[in-house]
Amino acid sequence: MSDLKELYKEVILDHNRNPRNCYIMDCATRTADGHNPLCGDTVKVYLRIEDGIIEEISFQGHGCAICTASTSLMTESVRGKTVEEAQGLFDEFHLMLTGVAEEQGIEMGKLMVFEGVREYPVRVKCATLAWHTLHAAMEEKKENVSTE
Amino acid sequence: MMSEHLTARPFDVEAIRADFPALHQQVHGHPLVYLDNAATTQKPRTVIDAVRGFYENDCSNVHRGVHALSQRATVAYESSRTVIKNHVGARDSREIVFTRSTTESINLVAHSFVRPRLKEGDEVLITTMEHHSNIVPWQLLCQQTGAKLRVVPISDEGEIIMEEYAKLLNDRTRIVGVVHISNALGTVNPVKDMIQLAHEQGIPVLVDGAQALPHLPVDVQDLDCDFYAFSAHKVYGPTGIGALYGKRAHLLEMTPYQSGGDMILSVTFDETHFNEPPHLFEAGTPNIEGALGFAKALEYLQSVGIEATQAHEKHLLDQATEAVLEVPGIRLVGRARQRAGALSFVMEGIHPHDIGTILDQEGVAVRAGHHCAQPVMQRYKLSATVRASFALYNRSDEIEALVKGLHTVREVFG
């Protein structure tokens, strides 16, 4: 039970219950679809980018608690950031889930709640799907993102 | 080597468990509760020993050597075919083709039997609850030939709607593909009635028996199916080996699917004389140790007794159905009157993958996902379910562990 609380932290459970920025954005300048074929998680990320800044971000989709909370927290983390800054956060998020961030002393703020996921290798993709999808939207990739 | 286990013994779950080495381990500090048997079953010692014994004693190639080892291997390989033939009630060992898997068995039928007789506008009929392995080969075949894939609907309970099935059979239907037991819902389909209806119009039927073999007595002559596809690993045998039962007359009509060694009689650069079925469909060096293990697995099941197994598993399924429904927020997916082997469910507001992870932390192995049957998930507007599936070695207290784990899920999610 205590191990499980390391994975399912209160913040994660809260964002799963009440995901932030979860709506269809009519005025999006870019969108991308992500899919985890292994478990059927899907996420669509909407972006309104103006002058290289993410002015607005939202998402729609369905997935497990890790996927939903990760997407919700991601939208909060990158709003107001430049595309480059968001890309940098994605890279650091990756480093955190592979354990490298800790070695390098990278501070992830509230995204640190996902640190526990790295003890569950099959669930890492649940946490990263949203970020891969965001990356695709920023790069304006046309094809669907897949975690496989 | 074939008959040592053929006499049924009294059903004793503890004695059975002692035969399966992998069951006796701790997972995350808890005794393993293995309820993912529809994905693959654990293997009894006799199967493991047969596979190892081949490499320790008889390792050689089949059907070619004049030396002692090759002769022993050939006899063992062909005897395994006979064990399988007897187990499914085929008339003739030549009606059993070794393949890699149920999937390959279905692909063989699609390519070698159906494809040559499929024209634009013809139809292939399957059901909503098929595994991807009994959908995708037909879909590709239809794309290549201009034929149409038709799908029999199922009810909310997870049963094939027989009136619709009867209506969909017509003079353009070239094959019916139907799963005997659904891996996603646990439904036991009335395949005998379905075959009879199809045969009234001269339509051949392939049955996907992957999930049925471990749970039911299967008699292909009684069913009168044209093809029955199955694999070893779902029924306590090794992975990487499956089989296709095909009526001898059909197999004799079929052209090769893959070609090369072992399926020929003579080869020159001008022409090749082919071997007879089943060898015609077994190009290349086969999975010899897999075939040996497959036979041992079926002999193991026979030694326990398929009827006794059926009764034991029915008891487990009934107990699990009742116990799981007592956990708040649980809804069963698939409530067919005839079910076997598997229990699929969802928990309100909690994704199956989270449930799977939490159960795993308590040592309980279940499947969480779409079970390689996405169309049936779509039928119920779900992306995934949790599936607990049973085998002859499961015990009542393992269902209690499952239910305890589901309560932990509730606690974690508050």
| CB contact (8 A) between residue A4 and residue B358 | yes
Whether A58 maps to a domain, the answer reads: yes
Confidence at residue B10, expressed as pLDDT on a 0 to 100 scale: 82
**Is the pLDDT confidence value at B22 over 90?**
yes
Q: Sort strands A30-36 and A41-50 into parallel, antiparallel or unpaired.
A: antiparallel
Determine how many CB atoms are found less than 10 A away from the CB of residue B246: 32
Residue B6 pLDDT > 60, yes or no? no
User: Is residue B360's pLDDT more than 90?
Assistant: yes
pLDDT classification of B263: cutoffs 50, 70, 90: confident
Using an 8 Å Cβ cutoff, are B124 and B206 in contact? no
Q: What ipTM is given for this predicted complex?
A: 0.88
Give me the sign of the Cα torsion angle B280, B283, B288, B293.
negative
Residues in chain A: 148
Q: Which residues contact B246 (CB under 8 A, 6 or more apart)?
A: B95, B97, B109, B113, B226, B227, B254, B277
Cα–Cα distance measured from residue B121 to residue B201, given in angstroms and rounded to the nearest whole number: 17
Q: Among the residues of chain A, which ranges form H helices?
A: 2-7, 10-17, 65-78, 83-97, 100-104, 124-139
Q: Which CATH number covers residue A69?
A: 3.90.1010.10
Task: Note whether A66 contacts B: Cβ–Cβ < 8 A.
Answer: yes
CA-based nearest residue to A65, from A92, A33, A39: A39
Q: Which is more confident, B275 or B366?
A: B366
CA distance B249 to B258: 20
**Nearest beta carbon to residue A64 from set B28, B351, B414:** B351
- Percentage of residues in chain B having pLDDT higher than 90: 90
Distance separating alpha carbons of residues B225 and B185, to the nearest angstrom: 22
Distance, CA of B208 to CA of B181 (rounded, Å): 8
Domain that holds residue A57: 2-141
d(CA B65, CA B323): 57
Q: How far is A39 from chain B (nearest CA, A)?
A: 5
CATH class label, B13-38+305-413: alpha beta
Whether A127 and chain B come into contact, CB under 8 Å, resolves to: no
Residue B318: partners with Cβ closer than 8 Å, 6 or more residues away? none
Q: Are B304 and B280 in contact (CB under 8 A)?
A: no
**So what's the pLDDT on residue B8?**
53
> Which of B10-24, B93-107, B223-237, B367-381 has the lowest average pLDDT?
B367-381
Put simply, the answer to whether A120 touches B357 (Cβ < 8 Å) is yes
Task: Please report which helix (H) or strand (E) contains residue B60, including its range.
Answer: none
3-state DSSP assignment of residue A41? strand
Residues of chain A in contact with residue B30, where contact means CB-CB under 8 angstroms, are none
Name the amino acid, one letter, at A36. N
pLDDT at B260: 87
* Cβ <8 Å between A126 and B353: yes
CA distance B372 to B334: 16
- Known catalytic residue at B372: yes
- Is A62 an interface residue toward B (CB < 8 Å)? yes
Report if residue A23 sits inside a domain: yes
Per-residue model confidence as pLDDT tens digits over A63-119? 999 999 999 999 999 999 999 999 999 999 999 998 887 777 777 888 989 989 988
Looking at CA atoms only, how far is residue A95 from chain B in angstroms?
23
Q: pLDDT for B160-170, tens place per residue? A: 999 999 999 99
pLDDT tens for B100-139 read 999 999 999 999 999 999 999 999 999 999 999 999 999 9
Q: Which residue of B has its CA nearest to A14?
A: B413
* Per-residue pLDDT band at A4 (split at 50, 70, 90): confident
Whether B2 has a pLDDT exceeding 60, the answer reads no
Domain B49-302 = CATH 3.40.640.10? yes
Interface test with A, best of B136, B347, B351, B410 (most A CBs within 10 A): B351
User: Region A21-43: what's the mean pLDDT?
Assistant: 91
Q: Which helix (H) or strand (E) holds B410?
A: helix B396-413
Which residue's entry shows tokens 């669509």?
Answer: A44
User: Is residue A146 in some structural domain?
Assistant: no
Per-residue pLDDT tens digits for B148-201: 999 999 999 999 999 999 999 999 999 999 999 999 999 999 999 999 999 999
Strand, helix or coil for residue B1: coil
Tokens of B127: 């059901």
Instruction: Calculate mean pLDDT across residues B352-359.
Output: 96
**A135 — pLDDT class (breaks 50, 70, 90):** very high
Residue A5 in contact with partner chain B when CB distance is under 8 A: yes
Predicted local distance difference test score (pLDDT) of residue B4:
46
Mean pLDDT of the residues in chain B? 95
Q: Where are the domains of chain B?
A: 13-38+305-413, 49-302
> Quick one: pLDDT at residue A142?
59
Decide if pLDDT at B3 tops 60: no
Q: Which residue has the higher pLDDT, A49 or A142?
A: A49
Concatenating the DSSP letter of every residue in B31-50 gives: E-EE-BTTT-----HHHHHH
Residue A1, pLDDT score: 60
Does the pLDDT at position B283 exceed 50? yes
Q: State the total domains in chain A.
A: 1
Q: How far is CA A119 from CA A97, A148, B357, B410, in A?
A: 9, 20, 11, 22
Q: Does A147 map to a domain?
A: no
- B262 pLDDT exceeds 90? no
Closest CA to B125 of B184, B192, B194: B194
Tens digits of residue pLDDT in B66-113: 899 999 999 999 999 999 999 999 999 999 999 999 999 999 999 999
